[in-house]
Structure 1
Amino acid sequence: MVSINKNILRTILIASYIMIVALIISGVSALFSYLNTGADRSTMLHTEIKKVDQYAPKMDWEPLQNEGRPMDDQTLNAIQHDYLDAWYVKQIAYKSNKTAGIKDYYTDSARKNLFDFIDLNKAQDISIEATTLSHNPTLEFFSQDGQLAVITDRNVIEYKRVFKAKELILETKEKSNYQMVCLLEDGFWRIRHLVKDSTEIFKPEPKPIAVDSLNIRGINYYPQANPWNMFGDDFSTDTISKDFKIIKDAGLNSVRLFVQYEDFGKEHIDAKKIEKLKQTLDTAEANDLKVVLTLFDFFGDYSVMNWTLNQRHAEAVVNAAKDHNALLAWDIKNEPNLDFESRGKDNVIAWLDNMIDLVKSTDSIHPVTIGWSNTESATILKDKLDFISFHYYEDLENLDAAVAAIKTEITDKPLVLQEFGLSSYSGIWKPFGSSDEDQANYHKKIQEQIAANNLQFMSWTLYDFTDVPTDVVGSRPWRRNTQKRFGFINSKGEKKEAFKYISNQ
């Protein structure tokens, strides 16, 4: 019995010894692996949002003709990735006046200058919001050991806003040339030297687009069954074709469509959505209709650090549609002035200004406008737009005077009344609303004013809707029910009294 107990005890001791040794070996192995593995850059970025989701300026490398060792695509991609990370981290640091992340993308000699600059700005209560919009790098030299790269980055377009005590003191857009040396350290490319060779104010001057023949008689369009989700699962070219025929037969020549920012994939454009958009343009062409495409619907974040992502989105959409025969014009944004109070008027206008430049640089043929929500904002950026668009849902008695005020400041560009209409809803949520007859009288009157003021027009909208998403007008029933009844055709598919005034032809 004693012998059995000794054997059991001996077995337990041996097993315990083996487990302890195994744990020690495992711990040493894990430590060795950690010490010999490059750190995860996503954990190094001490910022709220990673670069991959926030920064994508246009990169256009010159053909590789560098001295030294031949460059391979994988290494070049790694250099580009870390180079853009370095720009992003520097911009975050200049905005926050914090140095977190800089040591991960700059060597000792390079980071000292950055730290000194940040300390100076912090002492003077200065912060800088900045982004680069495009880079044109040339690889000049790649060392034989693959540890050093010399790059010239020409015509870098930079946008900056400088604040002192939170007040804007400078806004500038520059074109600069940079020389830099990158070193491979710990498996990552860090900037050792970054020197600005030259800089100048950048003022793009796109070629004016002729709009003398512009003659818009149109309507804002969504299918009746799936408004505000036109390119979703219920997308139907048959339905759209039938609707476009109704529009054409009514004497109209154009439709306004909306490209929603998130729905189309933000900076990662959804190829399936683009294909549906192209099919819609094909359908418009088949029905002899032109299309005004409104970009950035349901978008409201104008922060400078997001600009590169926004521009990649717009660039993809514009490139996909710019050669289509049905395309008439680009509308940069629907009613952006409604974001002035919540997002800052200066922020919104700066974003619009730069987005106009981007669209015009991508498509130099089709005119560009902005769908302002009222007549008061219609003159903003008037010199950069090819025609002026505004919406009007106010008292018709004041329309003539409002148009006259616009014409005193804008004398050489077409004016488009891009949205207008009257809801025929009258019910429990709005007992003193308007009737079908009131709606018809409204459209008769406004078409007379459109003709008298030599306006072009796009009314709101073809159909009454059975459902309106809360994202459009909120959840309050008196607003949602009112929004459902702006159409010229009711929920049963019957033409309302107002239909005979859908056009002034």
Structure 2
Amino acid sequence: MKGINRNILRSVLVLSYIALIVFILFGISSLYSYLNTGADRSSMLRTEIKKIDQYLPQLEWASLKNEGRVMDDQTLYAIQNDYLDAWYVKHVAFKTNTLTGINDYYTKTARKNIIKFIKQNNDKNISIEGTTLRHHPTLDFFSEDGKLAVITDKDVVEYKRIYQDETIVLENTEKSTFKIILLLEDGLWRIRHIIKEESVDNKNNFKPASINFNEIRGINYYPQDSPWDMFGDKYDTSIIEKDFKIIKNSGLNSIRIFVPYEDFGKAHVKPGKLNKLNQVLDLAQSENLKVVVTLFDFFGDYSVLNWTLNQHHASAIVYALKDHKALLGWDIKNEPNLDFESRGKTNVIAWLDNMIDLVKSVDSIHPVTIGWSNTQSTSILKDKVDIVSFHYYEDLEKLDTAIKTMRIEIPNKPLVLQEFGISSYSGLWKPFGSSDEDQANYHKKIQEIIALNKLQFMSWTLYDFNEIPTDVVGRLPWRKKAQEHFGFINKNGEKKPAFEYISKE
């Protein structure tokens, strides 16, 4: 019995010893991995930047005619990546007044000026929110040892917003040229020296787009079974084609559609979604309908550091459609003034201003507008847009006066009543709502006002919808039910009395 107990004890001790050795080895291995991870640049800002997700300014290299060593594509790509990363970390540094990432992208000599600048800003409680939007670099020199490069970056478009004590004191967009020397150190192309050579007129002198479409008589369009999700799983060209025939036969000549920012892939527009968008314009063209494309639907982040991502998104869509015969124009954003309170009026307007420039730089032919939610906001950026668009869901008795006021404030731009309508819902959740007859009387009256003022228009909307997404009007049933019944055609596919007044013709 004692022998058995001794053997059991011996076995327990051996197993405990083995377990202890395994535990120690595991601990050493974990510590080694931790120390290596800490030293690995993949855990540092350099690779956390992920420009593919955070920073995508427009960049176009000039043809390579540099002095010195012949440049290869791989090295040029590495220089480009590190150069843009250097801009990005500097934007972050000036916004936060910290030096995170600066060591990775600037040599010791170049860091001195940045450190001095940040210290001065900290002392004065100044911060700078900025980004660059366009770069046009030329490689001037590449050394024979492959460790030094000199570039000239022409016409860099840089936006800055300067705060002191958390109050904006200056907002500016400027175009400048920079001379940059980069050194290859520890596998990184670091900026050794940067000189701002010149500044040029920072105004974008875009000519007004040519508007060849004399009168807009249109409607805002979603398929009945996929409102606010036109390009989703229920996308069906046969349904859209049928609807476009109804619109054309009603006497209308145009539609307004919406491109949701996230659904289309944000900065990296999904080819499948873009193909669907092209198909919609093809179907419109077959019915001789013109299309206003509204960008950035379901979008509300106007952060300056994200502007390059937004521009990447818009550029892809505008470039793909700019030569389409059905395209009437670009609506930069639907009702952006509703974001003034939550996102900051200055932020929203600055974003719109720069986005107009971006769209016009890609497509100088088609007009640009903004879909303001009311008449009071229409004078904002009136000199930048080609068409002034407004929405009206208020008292019709005040519409005529509002139109006359806008024509005094904005005498030289076409006005488009881009959204209007009334719900015909009257039921459990809104017992004192409007009837089908009330809706018909509303459209009869507003068409009289439109005709009297020779106003262009796009009504809301073709169909009553079976279901409204919560993202649109929230969860309150009386709001959702009312929103379901703005259409000229009911849920059974029958034309409502208001259909008689869908067009003023």
Give the TM-score normalised by the residue count of structure 1. 0.93
Output aligned runs, 1:70-81, within 5 Å: 70-81=70-81
Residue identity matched to 2:267? E
Alpha-carbon offset, residue 321 of structure 1: 0.6
Q: Please name the residue that 2:112 is paired with.
A: 112
Instruction: Note if 1:410 corresponds to 2:426.
Output: no
- The structural deviation recorded for 1:210 is 3.1
Question: What's the counterpart of residue 398 of structure 1?
Answer: 398
Q: What residue ranges of structure 1 are gaps of 5+ in the alignment? A: none
The AA in structure 1 aligned to 2:343 is R
- CA 1:178/1:327 → structure 2, altered by over 3 Å: closer, same or farther? same
Any idea what the Cα deviations from partners look like across 1:95-147, whole Å, max 9, x if unmatched?
11111221121111111110000000010111111100011111122222222
Match in the other structure for 1:206: 206
Paired residues for 1:161-310 under 5 Å: 161-211=161-211, 213-310=213-310
**1-side partners of 2:254 and 2:120: how far apart?**
56
Q: Answer whether contact 2:488 2:502 (CA < 8 A) is retained.
A: yes
Q: Output the amino acid matched with 1:44.
A: L
CA, structure 1 residues 215+192, in 2 after alignment: closer, same or farther (shift >3 Å)? same
TM-superposed CA distance for 1:178, in Å, is 1.1
CA distance in 2, matches of 1:70, 1:50: 28
* SS of residue in 2 equivalent to 1:370: strand
2-structure distance, mates of 1:444, 1:367: 29
Q: 31-40 or 85-94, which moves further after superposition?
A: 31-40
Residue correspondence of structure 1 range 443-462 to structure 2 within 5 A: 443-462=443-462
Shift of 1:39: 3.2
Report the residue type matching 1:339 in the other structure: D
Once the two structures are TM-superposed, the CA of residue 83 in structure 1 deviates from its matched residue by: 1.0
1:60 aligns with 2:60: yes
The equivalences for 1:136-175 within 5 A come to 136-175=136-175
1:284 is displaced (CA, Å) by: 0.2
Task: After superposition, give the CA deviation of every residue in 1:210-235 in whole Å (9 maximum; x if it has no partner).
Answer: 33643100000000011111111111
Amino acid at match of 2:158: E
- CA drift of 1:293 comes to 0.5
Q: 1: distance between equivalents of 2:37 and 2:342?
A: 49
Distance 1:447 1:261, change over 3 A: same
- RMSD value, Cα: 2.7
Alpha-carbon shift at residue 37 of structure 1 (Å): 11
Aligned to 1:39: 40
What is the identity, as a one-letter code, of the residue corresponding to 1:189?
W
Q: Is the 8 A contact 2:369 2:387 kept in 1?
A: yes
After superposition, where does 1:239-388 map in structure 2 within 5 Å?
Answer: 239-388=239-388
Cα deviation, residue 242, structure 1: 0.3
The secondary structure found in structure 1 opposite 2:282 is helix
Q: Report if the CA contact (8 A) 2:41-2:47 is conserved.
A: no
- In structure 1, give the amino acid aligned to 2:135: H
1:21/1:431 CA distance change after superposition, 3 Å:
closer
CA distance in 2, matches of 1:258, 1:149: 45
2:257 & 2:25 partners in 1: Cα distance? 66
With the length of structure 2 as denominator, give the TM-score of the two structures.
0.93
Distance in 1 (CA, whole Å) between partners of 2:136 and 2:39 is 29
Which amino acid is the alignment partner of residue 353 of structure 2? Answer: D
Counterpart CA distance in 2 for 1:298 and 1:21 is 54
Please give the alpha-carbon distance, in whole angstroms, between the structure 2 residues aligned to 1:210 and 1:499.
33
2 CA distance for matches of 1:185 and 1:419?
A: 58
Equivalent AA in structure 2 for residue 312 of structure 1? H
For residues 208 and 306 of structure 1, the distance between their equivalents in structure 2, rounded to whole angstroms, comes to: 27
Instruction: Give 3-state SS (helix, strand or coil) of 1:173's partner.
Output: strand
Classify 1:136/1:332 alpha carbon distance in 2 versus 1 (closer, same or farther; 3 Å): same
Write the deviation string for residues 59-107 of structure 1: whole angstroms up to 9, x where unpaired: 1011112222222111111111111111111111101111122112111
Question: Is 1:38–1:187's contact at 8 Å kept on the other side of the alignment?
Answer: no
Preserved CA contact (<8 Å) 1:46 1:100: no
Letter aligned with residue 39 of structure 1: D
Q: Distance in 2 between matches of 1:166 and 1:292?
A: 39
Return the letter of the residue paired with 2:405: A
Contact 1:372 1:378 in 2 (8 A): yes
Amino acid at match of 2:146: G
CA contact (8 A) 1:211 1:387 kept: no
Counterpart residue identity of residue 158, structure 1: E
* 1:400-435 CA distance string (max 9 Å, x none): 111111011111221110000000001111110000
